[in-house]
């Protein structure tokens, strides 16, 4: 069975709240549909579960099999430990086994695994090249734990007589998603910022212990509230009373925000020798040299302690029961403890019990030293839930599966573990009935009595003449140095007795072991000590210090990552935007805002936590004309303007080399120059333009360079692709068949700005719009391929209404070749209707068609302008309407005369349309006796000139973007037909005195999001891409909507 490519997913049984899954249906779909030759996975069998976050039917829809029987599976995946009786022989299992530390309670499971010749892979031991665990849920524990505590904090304050905004917050599991929970916290924060907190509970101070993933997740939620971080040494200062007006202002601010304070071990202890300062390395080896001071320096000022740190018994407690009792008698303001580490009886001594998700709090009364299961009465409320990540089961499963799915194929298809990648082979604890070499220490540790009680009389059975106590502290288990230490002892014919063993919870945490090492010969014991010293200090020749028969042995170097201030930890990354047109400003503003996140809620909801460290984005806006770039960057922090001519290769290369990602907003023909430079310099590129043949030809070069060129990431193309693929792929996952796909998009004036006869205005070149209106079109309707000649395009416009927007009187014109999109979207052979159309207000097509037939859009040089002749607009109009010069004045006096002439020439059959065309002609000024500029050589030039002048937006007028998809889905099994729609409606807005058009906003923001996703390595595919794959459109659409571009979805 081992390595047969069949994967099983167990039903979790350890806890009623455990709803996580190692792989989601989406992950399973990709593994199955990409082919077993590529993924190593041929089948996936899922044990049925009625509480798993993703229902069985969703797995079944993507091709998984649902069965209680996993006997055909070579690899079986879970989250928590299965019951020993569930273990099947000669299989591979992957789950959090908690066996590599040799705890007694988990040894029966390990014995069963060895007896059944199982290959055991422990997620906790899968470590990347950077030394960090690849599979972990720490941040989700922090996020859920902090939200849960805020939920309880509102109840606790109410019992104390204070109504707070926290009372409206639910527990984490009550929200449909992490984003929804964050939105609720943001709402609470807005209420605090607006209405404030009761003065009697202010300043409200949250103290976070530790600096790992758990603390980072908790702080991520905290930062959604209006907040200020303070250094531990400055905590007393925020409790001062007002002595002057300035201080009164600062004091009053306390009610409109909360305070955060992050403490690490240097803030919790001080050296017993007053002459010595805190040394982290020394503290890890010799905690007995330090006294606790947290109860004196930090706890008196804390409202809530959020405990996120790893602790061992050899270290001083964070807060003992007696210390807290003394603080309470002195009037301590501590309201609650959120022990996210769930360290029972650990660093906070009086947290002596775990709590459940549905009953997360108990109350401890320090004066009476009593415990209560309510919120009423004296004392503090405490929370200690040990399965917090499952409250965000959907996001936690996706996060976990995103990583696991990248290498699950190796585990599923490999029989010989020596052929596995190194990081997976190192995570294999047992194989073929024995412990793998890296984990042989487990059997040695089990043979030694590791209980402290037994260690008291160890002399009765540890019969060696010479003994000493060796303390090993460092990365003993994740780097397997414990094996080397034990090998040294045994190779010298010595022996050891394990007195104490405490293993760090992650690859960053130090582990600690105390071994009593013995030998019958003193020289042999000294040799062992010397060898251990060499292991501990391979680059040092200093002798090991021995005192009181105890040897301190430091293994590995201590990395200090927790002492930096918040603002000092941000990484600078560069984005170069080339082109300073209207689209540039919203893109630059969005990217430059990252790093000053106090007001950027979209980032907190969708992106925070996606980067390994906090980032500041430095935006460089490059333009041929420096003044244009300066206008864009004015008022945008972290944005600088530069002058750049893309034909200047050396300067182009200079600016690209200084960025991580490039966004090209230049005309489409310039993209190849930029893309070629990006390939040479190995920098990612984003554009909003169509991917043409020339760009597609760069695909292999981009792959070889290891970069992504992400094109068509604007509005249309861009958001239209992503909305479409989301709808289509969701239908396919549910085994639906696309019967019809229709898409409509238009950039229009808002109704208030549609104040001319054409009901249209230009936010870009009229020339491009007019030319686009003369392109031929092809589409499929009910299985029939239909073609529209370019000269008839305007006349093909048909009335169109969007059911959810009945106030808009619209019409639709077919947009180029729709069949291409059927192929792009994978529905060309499936859908009987594939149509893409351009939206305009009703009547636009008829008017433009008449103007076209009159000849106003002809680009050939007109005889009227031959040899530099001067002419007027009226003279041109008379020529086009075939009016003789002697009839000129009488025939063009008003719209009635012009409309009648239009009908008489056969340019319109309907009086109403002719009148509207005549109104448009007069509005544009074609009847005026003004001289035409010499730059105009054709009727087309004249029309563009007048339209750009007369149909332009004023500085306060809004444009509008409307994008609407309709999809009909047939489900063959049920014969049901489902109608789905998605609608985006956006209006231009004034920001900082500047009008940001809806068109610029909806083109620029997606391009900026593409850059963000590449910065965060969320897009892993290399080459030339469109946003058609889930790795692009799923996170991009989430951010787009969180940023404020709303998409209304409907299913009938």
Indicate which residues carry an active-site annotation.
716
Q: Is there a contact between 119 and 428 (Cβ–Cβ < 8 Å)?
A: yes
End-to-end CA distance of the chain: 46
Helix (H) or strand (E) holding 438: none
Q: Rounded distance, CA 291 to CA 269, Å?
A: 5
DSSP of 466-520, one letter per residue? EEEEEEEEESTTTS-HHHHHHHHHHHTT-EEEEEEEE--SSTTS-EEEEEEEEES
Of residues 269, 268, 359, the one with CA closest to residue 307: 268
| Euclidean distance between CA atoms 99 and 254, whole angstroms | 48
DSSP 952: B
Contacts of 549 (CB under 8 A, 6+ apart): 468, 469
Answer for the pair 915, 940: CB distance below 8 angstroms, yes or no.
Answer: no
In angstroms, the CA 719 to CA 721 distance is 5
Q: How far apart are CA 77 and CA 94, in angstroms?
A: 5
Could you tell me if 441 and 28 are in contact, meaning their C-beta atoms sit under 8 angstroms apart?
no
Burial track 300-319 (b if 16+ CB lie within 10 A, e otherwise):
bbbbbbbbbbbbbeebbbbb
Chain centroid to CA 372: how far?
Answer: 40
Q: Is 90 left (phi over 0), alpha (psi -120 to 50) or beta?
A: left
- Residue 566, SS3 per DSSP: helix
Residues ≥6 apart with Cβ < 8 Å to 121: 92, 93, 94, 411, 424, 427, 428, 429
Q: What is the DSSP letter of 240?
A: P
Q: Are strands 6-9 and 290-292 parallel, antiparallel or unpaired?
A: unpaired
Give Cβ neighbours of residue 567 (< 8 Å, ≥ 6 apart): none
CA distance to 667, 1007, 1009, per residue, from 590 (Å): 22, 10, 9
DSSP state of 356: B
> Distances in Å between the alpha carbon of 100 and those of 106, 452, 455?
9, 20, 22
CA distance 309 to 298: 15
Contacts of 988 by beta carbon, 8 Å cutoff, 6+ apart: 750, 957, 958, 959, 960, 995, 996, 997, 998, 999, 1001
Closest CA to 284 of 511, 3, 528, 493: 511
Q: Which two tokens stand for residue 47?
A: 């044990």
- Tokens 């089948």 belong to 43
Distance CA 721, CA 825 (A): 8
* Residues in contact with 568: Cβ distance below 8 Å, sequence separation at least 6, in sequence order: none
Q: What is the DSSP string of 653-673?
A: HHHHHT-SEEEE-S-GGGHHH
Residue at token pair 């929370």 = 383
Q: Are the beta carbons of 427 and 421 closer than 8 angstroms?
A: no
1005's tokens = 């923001």
Distance of alpha carbon 109 from the chain centroid? 37
DSSP per-residue letters across 361-376: EEEEETTTTEEESSS-
């Amino acid at each position: 069975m081992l390595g047969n490519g069949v994967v099983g997913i167990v039903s979790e049984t350890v806890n009623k709240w455990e709803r996580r899954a190692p792989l989601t249906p989406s992950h399973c779909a990709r593994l199955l549909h990409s082919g077993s030759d590529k993924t190593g996975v041929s089948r996936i069998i899922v044990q049925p579960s009625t509480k798993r976050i993703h229902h069985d039917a969703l797995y079944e829809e993507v091709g998984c099999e649902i069965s209680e029987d996993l006997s055909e599976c070579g690899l079986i995946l879970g989250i928590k430990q299965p019951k020993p009786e569930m273990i099947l022989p000669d299989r591979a299992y992957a789950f959090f086994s908690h066996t590599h530390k040799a705890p007694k309670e988990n040894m029966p499971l390990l014995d069963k695994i060895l007896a059944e010749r199982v290959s055991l892979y422990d997620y906790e031991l899968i470590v990347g090249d950077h030394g960090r665990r690849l599979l972990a849920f720490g941040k989700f524990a922090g996020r859920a734990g902090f939200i849960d505590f805020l939920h309880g904090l509102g109840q606790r304050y109410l019992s104390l007589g204070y109504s707070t905004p926290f009372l409206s917050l639910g527990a984490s599991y009550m929200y449909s998603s992490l984003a929804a929970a964050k939105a609720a916290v943001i709402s609470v924060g807005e209420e605090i910022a607006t209405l404030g907190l009761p003065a009697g509970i202010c300043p409200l101070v949250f103290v976070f212990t530790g600096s790992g993933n758990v603390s980072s997740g908790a702080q991520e939620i905290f930062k959604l509230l209006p907040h200020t971080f303070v250094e531990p040494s400055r905590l007393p200062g925020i409790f001062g009373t007002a002595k002057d007006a300035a201080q009164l202002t600062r004091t009053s601010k306390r009610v409109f925000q909360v305070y955060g304070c992050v403490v690490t071990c240097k803030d919790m202890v001080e050296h017993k020798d007053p002459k010595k300062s805190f040394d982290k390395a020394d503290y890890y080896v010799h905690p007995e040299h330090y006294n606790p001071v947290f109860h004196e320096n930090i706890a008196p000022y804390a409202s809530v302690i959020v405990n996120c740190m790893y602790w061992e018994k050899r270290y001083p407690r964070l807060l003992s029961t007696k210390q807290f009792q003394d603080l309470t008698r002195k009037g301590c303001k501590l309201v609650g403890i959120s022990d996210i580490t769930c360290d029972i009886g650990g660093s906070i001594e009086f947290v002596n019990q775990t709590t459940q998700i549905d009953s997360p709090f108990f109350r401890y009364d320090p004066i009476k030293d009593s415990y209560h299961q309510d919120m009423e009465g004296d004392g503090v409320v405490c929370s200690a839930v040990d399965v917090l990540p499952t409250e965000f089961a959907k996001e936690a499963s996706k996060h976990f599966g995103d990583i696991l799915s990248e290498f699950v194929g190796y585990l599923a298809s490999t029989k010989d573990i020596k052929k596995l990648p190194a990081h997976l082979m190192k995570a294999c604890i047992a194989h073929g009935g024995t412990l793998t070499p890296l984990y042989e220490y487990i059997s040695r540790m089990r043979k030694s009595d590791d209980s402290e009680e037994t260690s008291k009389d160890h002399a009765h059975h540890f019969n060696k003449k010479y003994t000493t106590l060796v303390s090993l502290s460092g990365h003993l288990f994740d780097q397997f140095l414990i094996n080397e230490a034990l090998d040294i002892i045994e190779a010298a014919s010595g022996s050891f007795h394990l007195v104490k063993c405490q293993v760090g919870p992650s690859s960053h945490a130090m582990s600690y072991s105390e071994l009593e090492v013995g030998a019958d010969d003193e020289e042999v014991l000294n040799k062992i000590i010397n060898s251990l010293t060499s292991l501990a200090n391979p680059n040092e020749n200093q002798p090991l210090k021995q005192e009181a028969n105890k040897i301190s042995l430091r293994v590995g170097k201590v990395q200090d990552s927790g002492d930096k201030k918040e603002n000092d930890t941000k990484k600078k990354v560069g984005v170069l935007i080339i082109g300073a047109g209207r689209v540039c400003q919203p893109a630059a503003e969005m990217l430059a805002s990252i790093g000053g996140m106090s007001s950027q809620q979209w980032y907190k909801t969708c992106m925070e936590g996606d980067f390994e460290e906090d980032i500041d984005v430095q935006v460089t806006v490059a333009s041929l004309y420096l003044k244009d770039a300066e206008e864009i960057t004015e008022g945008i922090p972290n944005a600088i303007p530069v002058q750049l001519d893309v034909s200047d290769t050396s300067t182009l290369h200079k600016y690209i080399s200084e960025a991580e990602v490039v966004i090209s907003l230049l005309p489409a023909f310039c993209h190849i120059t930029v893309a070629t430079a990006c390939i040479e310099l190995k920098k990612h590129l984003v554009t909003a333009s169509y991917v043409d043949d020339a760009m597609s030809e760069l695909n292999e070069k981009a792959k070889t360079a290891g970069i992504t060129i992400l094109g068509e990431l604007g509005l249309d193309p861009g958001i239209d692709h992503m909305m479409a693929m989301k709808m289509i792929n969701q239908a396919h996952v549910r085994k639906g068949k696309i019967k019809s796909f229709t898409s409509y998009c238009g950039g229009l004036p808002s109704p208030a700005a549609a104040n001319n006869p054409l009901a249209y205005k230009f936010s870009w070149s009229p020339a491009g719009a007019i030319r686009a209106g003369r392109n031929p079109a092809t589409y499929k309707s009910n299985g029939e391929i239909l073609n529209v000649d370019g000269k008839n395009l305007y006349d093909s416009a048909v009335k169109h209404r969007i059911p959810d927007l009945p106030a808009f009187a619209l019409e639709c014109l077919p947009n180029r070749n729709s069949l291409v999109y059927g192929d792009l979207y994978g529905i060309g052979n499936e859908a009987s209707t594939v149509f893409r159309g351009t939206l305009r207000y009703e009547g636009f097509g008829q008017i433009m068609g008449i103007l076209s037939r009159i000849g106003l859009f002809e680009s050939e040089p007109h005889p009227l302008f031959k040899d530099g002749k001067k002419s007027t607009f009226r003279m041109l109009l008379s020529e086009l309407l075939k009016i003789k010069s002697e009839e000129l004045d009488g025939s063009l006096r008003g719209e009635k005369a012009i409309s009648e002439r239009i009908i008489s020439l056969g340019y319109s059959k309907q009086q109403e349309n002719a009148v509207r065309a005549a109104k448009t002609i007069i509005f544009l000024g074609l009847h005026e006796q003004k001289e035409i500029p010499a730059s105009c050589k054709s009727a087309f030039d004249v029309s563009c000139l007048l339209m750009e002048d007369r149909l332009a937006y004023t500085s306060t007028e809004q444009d509008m973007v409307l994008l609407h998809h309709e999809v009909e889905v047939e489900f063959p099994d049920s014969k049901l037909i489902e109608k789905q729609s998605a609608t985006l409606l956006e209006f231009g807005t004034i920001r900082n005195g500047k009008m940001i058009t809806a068109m610029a906003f909806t083109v620029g923001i997606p391009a900026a999001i593409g850059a963000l996703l590449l910065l965060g390595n969320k897009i892993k595919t290399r080459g030339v891409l469109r946003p058609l794959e889930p790795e692009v459109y799923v996170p991009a659409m989430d951010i787009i909507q969180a940023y404020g571009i709303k998409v209304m979805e409907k299913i009938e």
